[in-house]
Amino acid sequence: MSAAAMGAGAAFGIGDGATAETFTDLAEVISISPPSQSTDIIDVTHLKSTNRRREFLAGFIDPGDVSLELNHVPGSAADVAIQALEGLATTTNFRVTFPDGTSGSVTWIFAGLLQGYEPNITPDDKMTANVTIKVTGATTVSTL
């Protein structure tokens, strides 16, 4: 039997920066693309590499970006919270909460900077907004 689960119940939260940090989940989130890190690969091949095979080392890890889409409600708590992140010189902590599964809820907490906030208005559909967060540093994974 598969352990696959639906994404219903997932959440995206913004930390308050306090010592005992509290996260406030954004309302009306449609989809979340959690951080997807990538590792730089360094080519260390030399003239005497064994069997004329290229050799590589792992370099720095880029923790990636987070993107989310939400129903855009101008002036809502989510709209105000996201706009408050614009232009901050310091990082903010964010949390992705995966829905309850067989092992309980799993959270990913990471620091990041608001990279983009793009509301979208169309005449024949709901208003939405896309948010992009640039992750900086490692992600802490916890099971609740």
Domain boundaries, the chain: 11-143
The CA distance from 114 to 116, in Å, is 6
Does the predicted model carry a pTM greater than 0.85? yes
pLDDT 10s digits, 18-56: 999 999 999 999 999 999 999 999 999 999 999 999 999
pLDDT 10s digits, 50-104: 999 999 999 999 999 999 999 999 999 999 999 999 999 999 999 999 987 666 6
Q: Which of 60, 78, 62 is CA-nearest to residue 70?
A: 78
The amino acid present at 12, given as its one-letter code, is F
The CA distance from 46 to 53, in Å, is 9
Block residue for tokens 């608001």: 114
Three-state SS at 14: strand
Q: What is the CATH number of domain 11-143?
A: 4.10.410.40
The CA distance from 138 to 140, in Å, is 7
pLDDT 10s digits, 65-75: 999 999 999 99
Beta bridge partners of 90: none
